Structure 1
Amino acid sequence: MLLDGWLNIDKPPGMTSYGVIARLKRLTGQRHIGHAGTLDPLATGILPVAFGQAARTIEFLHQVSKTYRAVIELGVETDTLDAEGNILFRRDASSVSHEMVNSALESFTGTIQQVPPMFSALKRNGVPLYEIARRGETVELKPRTVTVYNIQLLAFDPPFVTLEVDCGSGTYIRSIARDLGQVLGVGACLKSLRRTRYGVFDIKGSIELASLETAGMVAARLLPPGYPLAHCPAVYAGFESTERITHGVIPAEVQSQITEARTYRLCSQDGALLAIIDATGADLRLKVFNLTAGDT
């Protein structure tokens, strides 16, 4: 049984994102499975998993926002910026107040510059930074532009700070923990992290990995391949254009509906997802699907 669709998995602690995929491959016997938005082993929460043709939509999910609940420990700094790393120093954080934390957080919203962690999957000359860090080497990391839509202080129980963070692609919560500690002058590291939303995937509708015992149980919980593309506006093609689209041609009637440099869902008149059109480059790029009606 070939599966096409998405699973909204609640990743357990201590497991890598690839470990989730490996388990689902063994369970279903299907090789073509991928995921969006890697989570560190320490982290829990939403890991969108794509089966079959749904995996072809992963590249378009980087445009969506995510929500995290983070617990940060003040007064401790580690080499990995989280609780799994080697402790570099400890400082007394007892002087930090609720008001000081709230004031410091004001500088973390909007479009900001953020230096990524040295222990990350980002690459330098083709080599992941975490491999360089494990060799005891360091490289100069340049700040990257990221977007933080909102940070809310949920609790302050010294030395722990609990935040809810709404952010865009490429934002490292570990870096927010580090930078918050630096602003407060006491250092900090990420104690725990839970992703509660990834685009349209919400923790309330998530599935515990351990609850899936058979391929049939996986199939019963699949969401349509086009489910996470709600952020992409839909354009429509007439029945007579369908065959041309399957051969990689974008009909004039469709091109006339494309008015912005963004990604579009190309659907038939009955709602079936035919393709994705990427209009963000110099030329239109068409990615064709073979799906049934309703997969929009």
Structure 2
Amino acid sequence: MIYSKTEIEEGQLLLIDKPLNWTSFDVVNKLRYALRKAYGFKKLKVGHAGTLDPLATGLLLIAVGRKTKTINDLMGMDKVYTGTFKIGATTPSYDLETEVDQQWSTDGISEVDIQSAADKFKGLIDQVPPIFSAIKQGGKKAYEMAREGEKPELKSRQVMIHDFKVDAKSFPEVDFEVKCSKGTYIRSLAHDFGAALNNGAHLTALHREAIGPYSIEDALSLDRCLEIFQKEE
């Protein structure tokens, strides 16, 4: 992956395996700085096509130069995720960002129950985003309101779950693979999955495997990508 300055200006799409505890904007800013330094740009457009939460890892598409004009198209593509739900407890953020607030016994939940719950979420479904999300309400981000003790009322939206596979061999942890449309919140899917079991659940791990035709198998680690651009200096 060695580009000329002209190729960077004309536009490139970088496939990055986002590391844990980095925001998507952290990755964008780090790469923008590295590219500007390596190629001598005073200004350079760099953006990402689809946010990953800090606690998620996996494929992040980074558009550079004129390729940033395609970001909306890239964001509209279906996505594939793998990860883990923990049954028997919920958190306000629906993941590990916040502490457990409620717990249930998982006695009596069978593999058949797990599969039946997953089947309920295949196809077009209504989903309410987590209150710990960047959706704005009254000009303020929902997660900012939530952290201040407010409870934003977010409207449900329709999303498409093309495929939803679950594996309960490590119950009460349930591993999953889901292919879904733009706008799907996997944290909400975890929360709703628990509710479908008359129980609770939250997301404990999330990895994005693919966006449209782009696969994590073709992605570079952030460190490796930065190393390559440093050689361009």
TM-score after normalising by structure 1: 0.71
Instruction: Determine the C-alpha separation between the residues in 1 that align with 2:167 and 2:112.
Output: 13
Contact 1:43 1:194 in 2 (8 A): yes
For residue 64 of structure 2, what is the aligned residue in structure 1? 51
Contact 2:114 2:168 in 1 (8 A): no
Instruction: Determine the C-alpha separation between the residues in 1 that align with 2:113 and 2:174.
Output: 12
Q: What percent identity do the matched residue pairs reach?
A: 39
For residue 100 of structure 2, what is the aligned residue in structure 1? 87
Out of 66, 73, 92, which is 2:79 matched to?
66
Shift of 1:177: 0.3
Q: Is the aligned partner of 1:75 residue 2:88? A: yes
After the TM superposition, which of the residue ranges 40-49 and 18-27 deviates more from structure 2?
A: 18-27
Out of 163, 166, 171, which is 1:153 matched to?
166
Shift of 1:194: 0.2
Q: Is the aligned partner of 1:179 residue 2:186? A: no
Matches within 5 A, 1:232-243: none
Matches within 5 A, 1:20-31: 20-29=27-36, 31=44
TM-score after normalising by structure 2: 0.89
After the TM superposition, which of the residue ranges 45-54 and 90-99 deviates more from structure 2?
A: 90-99
Instruction: Determine the C-alpha separation between the residues in 1 that align with 2:231 and 2:224.
Output: 9
Contact 1:80 1:118 in 2 (8 A): yes
Matches within 5 A, 1:107-186: 107-186=120-199
Q: Which amino acid aligns with 2:18?
A: K
Shift of 1:156: 3.1
Instruction: Determine the C-alpha separation between the residues in 2 that align with 1:42 and 1:117.
Output: 15
Shift of 1:216: 6.4
Work out the number of aligned pairs and report it: 219
Contact 1:27 1:214 in 2 (8 A): no
Instruction: Determine the C-alpha separation between the residues in 1 that align with 2:138 and 2:102.
Output: 31
For residue 215 of structure 1, what is the aligned residue in structure 2? 229
Shift of 1:217: 6.2
Unaligned runs of 5+ residues in structure 2 are: none
Instruction: Determine the C-alpha separation between the residues in 2 that align with 1:43 and 1:180.
Output: 19
Tell which structure's C-alpha radius of gyration is larger.
Answer: 1
After the TM superposition, which of the residue ranges 19-28 and 152-161 deviates more from structure 2?
A: 152-161
Q: Which amino acid aligns with 2:90?
A: E
Contact 2:79 2:208 in 1 (8 A): yes
When residues 168 and 74 of structure 1 are mapped into structure 2, their CA distance, relative to the original with a 3 A threshold, is: same
Contact 1:121 1:128 in 2 (8 A): yes
Instruction: Determine the C-alpha separation between the residues in 2 that align with 1:96 and 1:196.
Output: 29
Unaligned runs of 5+ residues in structure 1 are: 219-296
Instruction: Determine the C-alpha separation between the residues in 1 that align with 2:185 and 2:26.
Output: 21
Shift of 1:61: 1.9
When residues 217 and 95 of structure 1 are mapped into structure 2, their CA distance, relative to the original with a 3 A threshold, is: farther
Contact 1:28 1:214 in 2 (8 A): no
Deviations 1:36-86 (A, max 9, x none): 010000000000000000001001123310000020000110010001212
Considering Cα pairs closer than 8 Å and 6+ residues apart, tell me whether 1 or 2 has the greater RCO.
Answer: 2
Shift of 1:128: 1.1
Deviations 1:180-214 (A, max 9, x none): 11111220000000000011110111111111214
Q: Is the aligned partner of 1:37 residue 2:50? A: yes
Q: Is the aligned partner of 1:106 residue 2:106? A: no
Q: Which amino acid aligns with 1:5?
A: Q
Q: Is the aligned partner of 1:7 residue 2:14? A: yes
Deviations 1:122-172 (A, max 9, x none): 111221111111111012222111111010114431110011000001100
Contact 1:94 1:158 in 2 (8 A): no
For residue 241 of structure 1, what is the aligned residue in structure 2? none
For residue 248 of structure 1, what is the aligned residue in structure 2? none
SS of the equivalent of 2:120 reads helix
Instruction: Determine the C-alpha separation between the residues in 2 that align with 1:217 and 1:173.
Output: 38
